[in-house]
Structure formats: structure tokens, C-alpha cells
Amino acid sequence: MLLPILTYPDERLHKVAAPVKEIDDRVREIIKNMAETMYDAPGVGLAATQVDIHERIVVIDVSEEANDLLVLINPEITWMSEEKIPWEEGCLSVPGIYEKVERSAQIKVKAFDEQGEAFEFDADGLLAVCVQHELDHLNGKVFVERLSPLKLSRIKTKIKKQKKNA
């Protein structure tokens, strides 16, 4: 089932997600719907916050074929490199806006999968950027809020115009 995606500056995007207490069929159904929504959009990542579910769940697929779904439940970044890389980011909650954001070049992540199994992995490049972007969502932050006040102001003006002309 496709879920409606909240768009910036919706206040619900600033809500901090709560940890998932039990990984059960309800959570697996949320994951299935989130993955379907992300692929349909199309996007490479989706945090539960973006679909108005305020639990720490993320789906990501950075593969060219869109066939390598990564599910992160209660994800945590356990290490970030001091080296930063600029990456042009977009967001399903901020359609049509692409801006360069500096993020850690490499990260280590721990999370649970949809079966409740703990796992860890290292990430760099697009996957590292994507994980950091989606975890920002779980913490109530949208990528445009990492930009300068001037850029953010311009983006808000552009979004208002888009909504008025829609």
C-alpha cells in the first residue's frame, strides 16, 4: 500500500521518532508499505517520519537496479569519519529541490533487520550519505535545514510558489 509522503515544511517532519519496541508483523507491514512507497516515488531512501509514522524505521536502496533493499530498525551511527564530502541531495519530502550538503565520508552503523537480528556495516559514498540523511529524518531534521539561512529562505520561498501554482 502506498503511503502519503509529508512535504516540507510540515511540522510532523520535525517530530523525533521513538525506538521500535517489538519487531513484529505490524512493523514488517510498515516496512513493506514504506519500500513500496519509496520505489514508487522513486527514491533511494525513506524514513518512517516522512510517512507520518514516528518510529525509528528506515528503508534504503542505492542499487542501480532498485533490487537491494536495506532495512534499518533502530539504526545508530556508531562512528563517523572526520573527512567530509559534499553530495548533492534531494528528498521525497522536498520535491524538486537539490542542494549540496557536507556529510561524513565514511560511517559505521548498527541496526536491526525485519527479523529482529542485530547487524553492523560500514558505509561510504552514496550509502553513507543516504543513511545520514534518513537518520536526520528520524531525529526531526530535514536536509535543507543543514544549509545556510539564506539558501533555506530561498528554498522556502520556492516551495510556497510551487504550492500556490499547484
Grid cell, residue 154, equals 530561498
DSSP for residue 116 = S
The alpha-carbon radius of gyration of the chain (Å, integer) is 15
Q: Is 91 annotated as a binding residue?
A: yes
134 is catalytic: yes
Is the CB of residue 67 less than 8 Å from the CB of residue 61? Answer: yes
Rounded alpha-carbon distances, angstroms, from residue 86 to 36, 128, 146: 29, 12, 12
- What are the grid coordinates assigned to 95, written together? 520535491
Amino acid at residue number 94: V
Q: φ and ψ at 44, to 5 degrees?
A: -110, -5
Catalytic one of 89, 99, 114, 134? 134
Tell me which amino acid residue 62 is: V
Residues with Cβ within 8 Å of 77's Cβ and at least 6 positions away in sequence, in order, are 107, 108, 109, 131, 132, 135
The response to whether 54 counts as a known ligand-binding position is no
- Annotated binding-site ranges: 91, 133, 137
Binding residues for Fe cation: 91, 133, 137
Active site (catalytic) residues: 134
